[in-house]
């Protein structure tokens, strides 16, 4: 079961200890039509981006990649 997250008096979200140990302490909050998605930031963003870039098929545009990413995020909500 997914834990219910709460905020403190300063509007900070309290994450379970195991989530912080597994994903780290830096996240980006992505606002969607269905809610907010927390995405852990990689420890080395440039290295992570380079690795993802190697997986892309040749000729894909940034616009197409953005659209596909948004669609994938919405499938999980």
Pick the more confident residue, 56 or 70: 70
Write down the pLDDT at residue 9. 94
**How many domains, the chain?**
1
Pick the more confident residue, 68 or 62: 68
Write down the pLDDT at residue 31. 92
69 domain-assigned? yes
CA atoms within 13 A on the CB side of 9: 0
**Token pair 């403190």: residue:** 8
- Print the domain residue range for 55: 6-76
For 1-10, how does the pLDDT look when each residue is reduced to its tens digit (9 = 90+)? 678 889 999 9
For 12-49, how does the pLDDT look when each residue is reduced to its tens digit (9 = 90+)? 998 999 989 999 899 989 999 989 999 998 888 788 88
19 domain-assigned? yes
The tokens describing 44, both together, are 């080395």
CA atoms within 13 A on the CB side of 21: 3
18 domain-assigned? yes
1 domain-assigned? no
pTM over 0.85: no
């Amino acid at each position: 079961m997914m834990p219910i997250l709460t905020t403190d008096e300063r509007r900070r979200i309290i994450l379970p200890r195991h989530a912080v140990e597994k994903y780290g302490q830096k996240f980006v909050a992505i606002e969607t039509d269905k809610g907010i998605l927390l995405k852990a930031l990689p420890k080395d963003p440039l290295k992570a981006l380079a690795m993802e870039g190697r997986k892309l098929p040749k000729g894909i545009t940034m616009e197409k990649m953005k659209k596909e990413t948004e669609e994938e995020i919405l499938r999980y909500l």
